[in-house]
Structure formats: C-alpha cells, structure tokens
Amino acid sequence: MTETIKLTRDQDGIAILTIDTPDKSVNVLTEAALGELAQHIETVATDEGLKGAVITSAKETFLAGVDLSLLATLAGLARMGKVTEAYEKAFQLNKMLRRMETCGKPFVGAITGLALGGGFELMLACHYRIVADDPKVKLGLPEVQVGLLPGGGGTQRLPRMIGIQPSAPILMQGQQVSPQEAKEMGIVEALAPRDKLVEEAKKWILEGGSATRPWDQDGFKIPGGGGQFNPKVVQLFMAGSSMMQQQTWHNYPAPPAILSAVYEGHQLPMDRAIRVESRYFTTLLMNPVAGNMIRTLFLNKQEAEKLKRRPEGLEPSPTRKLGILGAGLMGAGIATVSARAGMEIVLLDRDQESADKGLAHVHKEAEKLARRGRMNAEDAKALVSRVKATADYKDLKDCDLIIEAVFEDPKIKADVTARVEEVVGETTIFASNTSTIPITMLAKASKRPGQFIGIHFFSPVEKMPLVEIIRGEETNDTALAKALDYVRQIRKTPIVVNDSRGFYTSRAFGTYVSEGIELLSEGVKPALIENCGRLGGMPMGPLEVGDQVGVDLMVHIYESLSSELGNSYTSAAGDKVARLMAEELKRPGQKAGKGFYDYGEKREKHLWPGLAEHFPVADVQPHPNDVEKRLIYIQLLEVARCFEENVVTTPEEADLGAILGWGFAPFTGGPLSMLDTMGIAKFVEDCDLMAKAYGERFTPPDLLRKMAKEGKTFYAPVLPAAAA
C-alpha cells in the first residue's frame, strides 16, 4: 500500500512527517491519509525518543484540504439517515487534531505552499507555523463555498488566535490570505525560504518551543474580546447576521451555521467547542445544499476540466497560433486569455484602427494583471507582444485554430468564414463564438463543415470560467478534440452540447429575462421582479440582466427568430417590450447608460422611474413567492426541454453550465439537481397549475411526466461517491 504521509526521524530526535499524495499534483487528505496521520501523531506522542515533529510536504503545495469525494461520502451518509455515523466520521479530524495539540510534544507546520480547508486547519492545530515566503501562496478556509463549515477546528482555533472579527471574512466568505498577510494577522509566526522551512521548524523545537496552546492555559482571553455579554461581541454578531442575510438572501445554510458555531464555541473549553463545531458540520451534511454543491462545483467540474468528453484515440492538439475575427470586447478578451496561455495571436478586424483598439484592451488587461501581482511586468509585456493586430486576412495563414467573434449576423459571419478559408490550411479548425445562431446553419458557409464548431465564451471573457462547445450536425471528432484542448490551455471549464438555436446556455437563460419582462408587462412592480430574482438565488434581477445583454441585441435576436421561423414565429411580450425600449424610447441598455435602469458615471444604478408610465403598476401585486417561482421554474423547464431534446446530454454538464455560465442559483447544485431535490412529481404538479394560470410555456415536457410517473431522478438518489 502506497504511503501518503511518510515519517522519518533525524539524529536530533525530531520526526519529519512528509505529505505526498500519490498520483495527484496537489496533496489532499484522503481517508487513508487521515488514518496514517492519526497513527503518526500517536507515534510522536508516545515515543520517548522523539522530542516533537515537523509536518511538511514533498510538493510545492502543502495541503489543499480533505478529498471532496470523502466529504461527498459523508454527505451521502447523512442524507441516508445515518446521522450518527456521519457525525462520528466527521469528528475524527477534530479528535485527531486535538490529540496532536494536547499530546505534550510540539508540532510545527513547515508550510511549503497552498494550505486550504483541512490543510489550513492542520496548520492551525500545530504549535508553531512557518510558511514559505512566497506571495503566490494562499491560505484559507473555502468550505463555505461548498455549503459546509470548517470541520477540523477552524471555527474555534482561528477566532482564538486572531479574534472573532478578523476571522469572519476567512470563515464566512472563504477569503484567502497570503503568507505576509497571515503573519501580520497572527495566523503564522514566521516566513522562510521554501528550502529552509524544515530547518527553521526543527530549530524552534530544539530551542524549547512550547507544546501548550494559549487557550489551554488559565486566564486565556480571546483577542478583541469574547463572551455573550461583551458589547463588542454582541454588536458584531448582530451586525454580522444582518449583513450575512443581505448577501445570501437566506439561501445558503453554511454562513449562519458558521456564525452560530463561533458564537457558541468561543464561550466553551476547546474540547466542548469542537463538539459544537462537528454538530453544526453534520447538520450541514444533512442539508442537500452541501452535497449538491460539492458534486457540481467540484467533483463534476474537475471531471469536465479533465476533458471527460474528449474523443478517445486522438493525439493532443494544442493550439499554437490562434486567429480571432473581431477585436471588440469579446474578441479582445479571447485574445487576452489565449495570449496569457502562451499562444501566438492574430487579432483581425475590418480596419487597422478597430484592430488596434482590441490590442489596446489586451495591453490594459496585461497591465492590470501586473498591477495585481498576478504576473511580473516582463511577462505582461511578453503577453502583449504575442498579439498581432491586423486588418489583413493573409496574416491568418498559419493559424491552426480560428475563432470568429463578429456581429451576430449570419451574412457577416458567412462572409468572414469564406475569406478565412481562402488563406488558411486545410487542417485549420474554424470556431464561431455565436451565442444564439445554430452552428449547423453557419457551417453551410464553410467548405469544410466537419471542421466547423462552436466555442461560446461568456462576457467578460477574462472573468467568466465556462466555455460552451457546440457540435454542429457535421462537426467531427477532430474539431471537438481541438476545441477541448484549447479550452484546457486557457484554463477554463468546458461543457459540450449539441446544436440548437441558443444552444443550451443562451436558450435556457433567455427564459429568465423573458419572464421578467412578461411580469413587467403584466403590471408587476419592477423592484418586486428584481428582488424576487435575487431571492431565488440569481446574481441579478432579470431586468438588470436584460440591460447588460443589451435590449437592442434582444430585438435583433427576436428579428432573427422571426426571419428563420416565418409564420410559425409567435411574438411574445418580451419582443414588444424590447422594441419599445430600444427603438421608441431609445433605451438600449447599460452600454448607453439607460435601459430598464438608469446608470451613472460611476456605475451607480437605479430602476428607471419612467417604467411606471409605460408599464402601469397593477393595483393587486402577486405574492413574492409566486414571482420567484415563475422566474426560477421557467428556467428549470427550459433546461429539462434541452435535456429531452438531447441538446445537453448529461445532468452533470447541464448543472455545471447553468451555474458557471449564467449564475443559476449555486446553492441548488444546478437546475437538474434542484429538480431532484424538490421532487420531479411535485414540480410537474406545480407546473400544470402554473400553465393554467400563466400560459402554455409552463407546461412540463413529456420527459418530466414520464420520470415523475416512474419515480426516476436525474442523479442516483444518493450521491455517487457515497457508494464508493
């Protein structure tokens, strides 16, 4: 059996525990590793020949935390009703670290690099901490981002070390800190070069470092104050609770659980405090939020980034020279992330002036990266030098991948496709960044439709993590492999979908905006619409989203649909409202400073008061629950239709694409996870009632009726990892 944590002894009687997770680029605490660590702690504690121990890593990363598949297993146990078993397993880490902390021998963390989650908690449980003096190293507790709280004493040790208030952003927001910041805050005692960490750690032990923590000594007081009657503490928890709900809209159970664990635990002795923490941890495991978030945002995301959908048997095909057609914000953003990945870029537009504007954007983004310390000035300069701005199609000659990001007009796209194919080689892959026009339709302009594919980015490209890859009817495996390899190069997360107008993400997300406009046309108060969207877990209200997308672009999409569908096209409320706003009222959206909202010079915004004149408010307003339900259910229905029509082919990609692509309520784990959690039969029943009340668009598809009748779910009833 392969060791994950190796114990060696030096001549001075110090044990060196070296973490080295086999077959992984970063260290994680698997169930086997936890068992090894417990044994080694016991060895150090009971072996009279050992003075203490140094915990370090054979990798540049120290410890990225507990293996998420293990957390998924615990969540599965809790949701199956095996609560006691889940609690006891969860408490093992707390119990082990407390044994290390109180065994009477000093343990020093020689932290080589990244220390997150359980890795950070292991570090906190050590009696002394020395971290690599490298600003790129990050330390923190990201558990809140998967619906959990730190379950290895993090909610108890961190406040006792630095105070309750400074701990809050790290515990409740998952904020990460650099080694220098950690030292200034009092989280770590020293910094050292990576190759000197173990030497310095051993020196501290040999010079008589204490094996007793301050909170185990009489008279200990929490920095900054503690206790339920301390005015500062009371004020903090009252204000913290209010701010937390403002940010989470009551959708995320982890932040209030963290706040409660800190509040209750900081008033108790450590041995009782960690029991409180483990109880709250288990309560979160029982909630479907944690399991769904772990599955979608980490396990499934990791699978997607490993290119699970890549065709087998094809050699890797990294992009060497990339041609980008269109140097607007989208094209320039694609150029930035691609040049950062080391590719040579040809950024082409209709004239040199337009192309140069795109290059200026790349330069600005490179400077921003350097200013924020994410690359040095020399690397930033090299990034810009890899981008050639041009208006000459001949410069595309040697490109092995072309990405078209011109205006959403089939005729314009057909023209640039033909012009590109006159100069590039026969093996060049051509991709369109269109967000709505079917790839099969666009591929008709190509002499090589098998090498034509969709690579759909989201705006802003530099920030948005998802890329939607669309297969046209004739797209071949070579093009798909090339697209996936490219997405991996730029370090984004891909999903693969089949062709459809709007594909998957734009098609499903568009229903949110359309339903918001429908509500507006019915006389529902704009503020009620926007707040109910956020209450349902969406990052913005539907009207604000409409402004960001562009009300004029919505008009263009409606016109394209009408042209394509002819007499079968049915005009909806969204069509009429968008035309009124963009064409008659000249309010095309955020880019013009006016749409459904008014926008100030400093990006401040407020709903346009004139909406009441053009969309009179009804005397009787719907209940907020009904508004929220309409805005969320309409998206769930369209996702289910996409799944039924084989546009999106796996529940994993449907959920991942929804959360990363358009910000669908992350706490649900995604639309199909949400359907499983609420119960498909209940959803179908609700939709039938809503269809009668609001229209046929709420009629559930046959797929859901069949699943409801047969008692089926999109995922296995218990998390897959729970069966491992």
Residues serving a catalytic function are 456
Q: What is the DSSP string of 469-521?
A: EEE-TT--HHHHHHHHHHHHHTT-EEEEEE--TTTTHHHHHHHHHHHHHHHHH
Report yes or no: 553 and 408 within 8 Å, Cβ to Cβ.
Answer: yes
Q: Which two tokens stand for residue 362?
A: 């790349």
Closest by CA to 464, choosing from 443, 435, 440, is: 435
**Could you give the CA distance from residue 431 to residue 451 in angstroms, rounded to a whole number?**
8
Sheet holding 128-132, edge to edge: 5-9, 14-19, 52-57, 107-111, 128-132, 190-192
Place of tokens 């590039």: 424
Long-range residue pairs from 704-708, CB within 8 A, at least 24 positions apart, any chain: 704/640, 704/675, 704/680, 707/680, 708/680, 708/681, 708/683, 708/684
Q: Which two tokens stand for residue 358?
A: 């795109």
Report yes or no: 408 and 435 within 8 Å, Cβ to Cβ.
Answer: yes
Report yes or no: 436 and 309 within 8 Å, Cβ to Cβ.
Answer: no
**Could you give the CA distance from residue 540 to residue 664 in angstroms, rounded to a whole number?**
10
Report yes or no: 635 and 664 within 8 Å, Cβ to Cβ.
Answer: yes
In b/e form, how buried is each residue of 468-477, taking b as 16+ CB within 10 angstroms?
Answer: bbbbbebbbe
Contacts with 681 (C-beta within 8 Å, 6 or more apart), sequence order = 708, 711
Q: What share of the chain is helix, strand, coil (3-state, %, to 5)?
A: 55, 10, 35
Any bridge partners for residue 346, and if so which? 323, 388
Q: Which two tokens stand for residue 26?
A: 């970063």
- Compute the chain's Rg from CA coordinates: 28
Q: Which two tokens stand for residue 395?
A: 């410069």
Cis peptide before 671 (omega within 30 of 0): no
Closest by CA to 191, choosing from 121, 118, 114, 112, is: 112
Which phi and psi (to 5°) does residue 468 adopt?
-95, 120
Report yes or no: 505 and 662 within 8 Å, Cβ to Cβ.
Answer: yes
Give the ranges where 580-610 is alpha helix by DSSP (H).
none
Place of tokens 């098998």: 450
Angle 69-73-79 from CA coordinates, rounded to 5°: 140
Task: Provide the residue type at 585 as one letter.
Answer: L
Report yes or no: 109 and 130 within 8 Å, Cβ to Cβ.
Answer: yes
Any bridge partners for residue 422, and if so which? none
